[in-house]
Amino acid sequence: MRSSTLGMIPNVENNFDKAFAVELFRRANFSRHFEFKVKEAADKKLFTIPVYLSVGTEFNAAVFSLTLPGCNIFAQHRGHSLYLSFGGKPEKLRDELLGLPTGCSGGMSGSNAIQAPEINMFGHSGLMGEQVPIACGAAYASKKTTLTICGDASVEEDYIYPSLGWAVSEKLPVLFVCEDNDLSILTKVEARRSWSPVGLAQGLGMPAVDITDDPWLVAHHVKEMSKNLPGFINIRSVRHLWHAGTGTDGPPEWDRYKITQEKLTKLGLDKEMASIDEENKIKAHNIWATELTKGH
Amino acid sequence: MEHMTEQMTAHMTPTVAKTIENITRQHLTENNGLLMGQCVTAVGWIGGTVPDCRGQGIVEIPMTDIAGPAFAVGCALMGRRPIFVVRYQGFMWYNCSSLVNYAAKSKEVWGVPAPVFIRSIAMEGNGIGHTASSSVHSIFMHSPGLPVVAPMTPKEYQSIWNWYMDHDDPIYVSEHRRSFVMSDEMPNQINPGSKITIVAISAGRLNALEAVKTLKEAGIEVDLFHQLWLKPFTAPTGLHESLTKTGVGLIIDSDFEITGASRSIAYDLMHDARVPVYALGLEDRVCGVAQHLENITPSPKRIHDRVLELLKERASKIK
Whether B2-179 and B196-318 share one fold: the answer is: yes
CA distance B59 to chain A (A): 10
CA distance A144 to chain B (A): 10
H-helix segments, chain A? 18-43, 58-67, 80-85, 90-97, 131-142, 160-170, 197-203, 215-226, 256-266, 270-295
SS3 content of chain B, % helix, strand, coil (to 5): 45, 20, 40
CA-to-CA distance for A178 and A209, rounded, in angstroms? 10
What CA–CA distance (Å, rounded) separates B312 from B318?
A: 10
**What CATH class is the domain B196-318?**
alpha beta
- Tell whether the model's pLDDT for residue B1 goes beyond 50: no
Could you count the other beta carbons within 10 Å of the beta carbon of residue B33? 22
Q: Does B44 touch chain A (CB under 8 A)?
A: no
State what percent of residues in chain A have pLDDT above 90.
90
Element (H, E) at B223: strand B222-227
- CB-hemisphere CA count at 13 Å for B153? 16
CA B173 to CA B65: how far, in whole Å?
Answer: 18
Q: What is the pLDDT of residues A32-53, one digit of tens each?
A: 999 999 999 999 999 999 999 9
Residues pairing with A74 in the sheet: A122, A148
Q: Do A103 and A113 meet the contact criterion of CB atoms below 8 Å apart?
A: no
Q: B313 pLDDT band (50/70/90 cuts)?
A: very high
Q: Which residues lie closer than 8 Å to B152 by C-beta, 6 or more apart?
A: B16, B176, B179, B182, B186, B202, B203, B205, B206, B226, B228
Condensed to tens digits (0 to 9), the pLDDT of residues B52-94 reads: 998 999 999 999 999 999 999 999 999 999 999 999 999 999 9
Residue B74 and residue A109: Cβ atoms within 8 Å?
Answer: no
Among chain B residues, the shortest Cα distance to A135 is held by B74
pLDDT more than 90, % of chain B: 89
Contact indicator for A283, A32 with CB cutoff of 8 Å: no
- Strand partners for B37: B60, B85
Rounded to 5 degrees, φ, ψ at B224 are -125, 125
Q: Do B62 and A123 touch (CB under 8 A)?
A: no
Instruction: Determine whether the interchain pair A140/B59 forms a contact, defined as Cβ–Cβ distance below 8 Å.
Output: yes
Amino acid at position B204, single letter: G
List CB contacts (< 8 A) between A132 and chain B.
Answer: 67, 70
Domain A12-295: assigned CATH number = 3.40.50.970
Contact call for B109 and A159, based on CB within 8 A = no
Residue of A113, A137, A160 with shortest CB distance to B71: A137
Q: Is the pLDDT of residue B125 over 50?
A: yes
Q: Which of B32, B35, B60, B78 to mutate to test the interface with A (most CBs of A within 10 A)?
A: B78
Chain A residues in contact with B72 by the CB 8 A cut-off are 137
The sign one gets for the Cα dihedral A250, A255, A257, A258 is positive
3-class SS of residue B224: strand
Superfamily of domain B2-179: Thiamin diphosphate (ThDP)-binding fold, Pyr/PP domains (3.40.50.970)
CB-count burial class (<10 Å; 0-12, 13-18, 19+) for A246: middle
Whole-angstrom Cα distance, residue B256 to residue A128? Answer: 31
Q: Domain map of chain B by residue range? A: 2-179, 196-318
Give me the phi and psi of A294, to 5 degrees please: -55, -40
pLDDT of B11 strictly over 80: no
CB contact under 8 A, A106 and B102: no
Q: Chain B partners of A115 at a C-beta cutoff of 8 Å?
A: 110, 112
Q: What number of C-beta contacts closer than 8 Å exist between A and B? A: 109
Kindly list the residues from chain B whose CB atom is less than 8 angstroms away from the CB atom of residue A141. 34, 74-75, 77-80, 82
| Mean pLDDT (chain A, rounded) | 95
CB-count exposure of residue B192 (10 Å: 0-12, 13-18, 19+): exposed
Helix (H) or strand (E) segment spanning residue B303: helix B300-318
Regions of chain A short of the pLDDT cut 70: 295-296
Whether B71 sits inside 8 A of A142 (CB atoms) is: no
Say if residues B122 and B202 touch (Cβ distance below 8 Å): yes
Phi, psi angles (nearest 5°) of residue A150: -130, 180
Asked if B122 and B255 count as a contact pair (C-beta separation under 8 A), the reply is: no
